[in-house]
Amino acid sequence: MKSAIVTGASSGIGLEITKMLIRNNYKVYGFARDFSKTNFEHINFIKENCDITKTNSLEEKIKNIKKMDKKIYILVNNAGVGYYGPHEEINIKNLKNMIATNLEAPIILSHLLLRDLKKNKGYIINISSVTAKKASPIGCAYSATKAGLTHFSESLFEETRKSGVKVVTIHPDMTKTNFYNNAYFREGDLPESYITGECVAQAVKMILNQREGTILTDITIKPQKHMITKKNTIKNKYKETKKIKDNRV
């Protein structure tokens, strides 16, 4: 049985990718800080409580997994966090958290697992964002971390493609998850105005089902209609400066 490591596996996109992989006969090591609200159990779902921004703890977790399992075939860097608002109003702690979660951790995890993935001719799948490809006022630091992740993916693929490693970036647009719970906006009400975690999981399945030698390196997933709904709260004007609890954390 092949194995996968999925970060942000407690809910949302990460959990849907985990379920899809298990249905397709993978063992999944799911990383998240808190699984207390995760209503999914399976013999092949190994929950790893870990804050991926804590490098020493992360290294130890990966070291232990590698000792037990020589069949790591997929790394899904899905965990992410966002803070929205005018750049000067986002505090430095939150800026550092975005950089550590969205960019630093995927780079470190790729480093820790790259030799194994080369040996197994496996996949690194990075969940970026459509904001990586465009200007994003009121979210410029978040989009910068995602643009960095996208560029890292493109460069790492060129570096490792001869070894058989497949590096893929998925750019989801507005997704119906708990990512926007504490933001002043959310997805639209119409089903055509958002994508779902299952949509991203199906994209991962499609990536894995390509013929040997064919790689889908860059996928963008968008809803048919572009709609953003502002929440009707008194304090919604700059509530985006609060931490957005990403489903991928």
Q: Is 58 a domain residue?
A: yes
Q: Is 89 a domain residue?
A: yes
| Eight-state DSSP code of residue 160 | H
pLDDT at 179: 62
Half-sphere exposure of 8 (CA within 13 A, CB side): 27
**pLDDT tens figures, 170-226:** 999 988 766 655 555 555 567 777 899 999 999 999 999 999 999 999 999 999 987
Q: Is 34 a domain residue?
A: yes
Cα–Cα distance for residue pair 40/241, rounded to 1 Å: 32
Instruction: Please report the DSSP string for 81-117 in residue order.
Output: -EE-S-GGGS-HHHHHHHHIIIIIHHHHHHHHHHHHH
Half-sphere exposure of 186 (CA within 13 A, CB side): 16
Collapse the DSSP code of 228 into the 3-class scheme (helix H, G, I; strand E, B; otherwise coil) and give the result: strand
In the chain, the amino acid numbered 74 is I
Q: Could you tell me the pTM of the whole model?
A: 0.89
Q: Is 212 a domain residue?
A: yes
Q: Is 63 a domain residue?
A: yes
Domain, as residue range, for 101:
3-244
Chain centroid to CA 175: 12
**pLDDT tens figures, 100-127:** 999 999 999 999 999 999 999 999 999 9
Q: Is 230 a domain residue?
A: yes
The CATH number of residue 168's host domain is: 3.40.50.720
**pLDDT tens figures, 77-102:** 999 999 988 999 999 999 999 999 99
Number of domains in the chain: 1
Query: Is residue 239's pLDDT more than 70?
Result: no
| Eight-state DSSP code of residue 47 | E
Tell me which residue of 36, 31, 10 sits closest to 108, measured CA to CA.
31
Name beta bridge partners: 187: 228
Cα–Cα distance for residue pair 165/84, rounded to 1 Å: 34
Q: Is 36 a domain residue?
A: yes
Q: Is 70 a domain residue?
A: yes
For residue 238 the two structure tokens come to 């700059």
Specify whether the CB–CB gap between 84 and 138 falls below 8 A: yes
What is the greatest pairwise CA distance in the chain? 55
Sequence-ordered list of residues with C-beta below 8 angstroms from that of 174, at least 6 positions apart, any chain:
187, 188, 193, 194, 195, 223, 226, 227, 228
